């Protein structure tokens, strides 16, 4: 069975998307579904390429038993658009940026639509304090849990190597 591949995207790949990647990966592991998903994160900008996530993202994840310290920021690549089944933008600005550079067949969605069903943006906590990171964690955990449940059920109901994620 071909794994479902998901890419979480924010602006610099140091706050929201690494948290989303870490949370989703943790949930997948807890559910015993490690081989069924490929998970990564990227940024629309390259300012932080090669750097670890923001220390506040690392601390927030760690306080919930998730280690994201080994992740490194990267910028989205052209190959990502065909290499991932689902690309989830954290907010409308990043969604618009991705839409300008992606081929038409790329499956790009707003995290707030695909995972939360609310259409909300996940706010960038970069210029705030720890409370903002905790709020982002809570929204991402809710969305990632719903997404895993939907994709796990969806994949289980599919036959062969196809996925109805697209």
CA–CA dist 103, 119 (Å, integer):
23
Which phi-psi region, left, alpha or beta, contains residue 117 (left: φ > 0; alpha: ψ -120 to 50)? left
CA–CA dist 13, 41 (Å, integer):
7
Catalytic residue flag (residue 16): yes
HSE of 16, CA atoms in CB hemisphere, 13 A: 29
User: Which residues make Cβ contacts (< 8 Å) with residue 99, sequence separation at least 6?
Assistant: 108
CA–CA dist 146, 63 (Å, integer):
21
Beta carbons within 10 angstroms of residue 75's beta carbon: 16
Catalytic residue flag (residue 124): yes
Catalytic residue flag (residue 93): no
CA–CA dist 55, 63 (Å, integer):
12
Q: 10, 15, 121, 139: which one is catalytic? A: 10
Q: 15, 124, 139, 144: which one is catalytic? A: 124
Q: 15, 16, 139, 155: which one is catalytic? A: 16
User: Which residues make Cβ contacts (< 8 Å) with residue 159, sequence separation at least 6?
Assistant: none
Q: Mind telling me the catalytic residues?
A: 10, 16, 124
């Amino acid at each position: 069975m071909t794994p479902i591949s998901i890419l979480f995207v924010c602006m610099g790949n140091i706050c929201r998307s690494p948290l989303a990647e870490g949370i989703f990966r943790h949930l997948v592991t807890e559910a015993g579904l490690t081989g069924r998903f490929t998970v990564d994160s990227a940024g629309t900008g390259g300012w932080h390429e090669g750097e670890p996530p923001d220390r506040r993202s690392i601390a927030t994840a760690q306080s919930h038993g998730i280690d994201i310290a080994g992740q490194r920021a990267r910028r989205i690549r052209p190959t990502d658009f065909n290499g991932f089944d689902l690309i989830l933008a954290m907010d409308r600005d990043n969604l618009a940026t991705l839409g300008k550079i992606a081929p038409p067949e790329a499956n790009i969605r707003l995290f707030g639509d695909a995972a939360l069903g609310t259409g909300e943006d996940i706010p960038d906590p970069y210029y705030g304090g720890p409370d903002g990171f905790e709020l982002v964690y809570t929204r991402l955990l809710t969305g990632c849990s719903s997404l895993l449940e939907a994709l796990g059920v969806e994949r289980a109901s599919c036959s062969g190597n196809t996925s109805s994620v697209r």
